[in-house]
Structure 1
Amino acid sequence: MFVSLAVVTVLMSVLLLTSAGAKSLRTRHITEQMSTLGVPQRMMPFLIGAQIAGTAGAIVGLWWAPVGIAAAIGLTLYFAGAVAFHLRVGDRKGASPAAALALASVALIVLRAATL
């Protein structure tokens, strides 16, 4: 079970850091998407920080379970919010990746709890 947790943690970490990097570059695609979703540019540092903190917490959580569970709960809430923002503007296509990441975050909770 721990191997599954480690694999999901590493995959999520790569995706989160890639997303945080894209947000920090503020490419036109990201800027337009955030504008369409109604996310103010001043929130970008918070979103980037949340993704980096979630990554760090998930990795630390491999050794210290409470931190991993807390990080996974935070990531679940983060991506549930992303799904809500996408659906609010009728962007079902954009909601799908966020929903998949929300489910992966739930999987982190379940896997970490199962390895206690």
Structure 2
Amino acid sequence: QDAGFKPTSNAIVTFKTFGAIGSAVQMKQTLDPLAYDNKLAPNPSEIKWENLVQSSSERRVRDNLGTLFVVLLVVFWTIPVTLASTLTNLDTLTDTIPGLEELLEAVPALGSFLT
């Protein structure tokens, strides 16, 4: 083992025939379904080599944190946008702001500007 590289739980295997590839991808080597994750390898240019030193549990935590961030962003983005769209409804504005209805009757173009 080269002293410059840390051992990881990842491996990239090459095959000489397509039949061997198909057999290896479909075959499970253990009864534990989470022990191996067999899938076809991407192009070497698509691999982020620095990520290969992450453990699968660390990768899973990062994936879950990313998903949580997106869900929170969607939820907390939806609430202000819904509130803003409710407030920009002309009927709601005229009910909320006193004197706006008379102003809109005097200046009709203001209604199209507010909505």
The TM-score normalised by the length of structure 2 is 0.25
- Ranked by relative contact order (alpha carbons within 8 Å, sequence separation 6 or more), the top structure is 1
- Structure with a larger share of its residues in helix: 1
The TM-score normalised by the length of structure 1 is 0.25
Q: Which has the larger radius of gyration?
A: 2
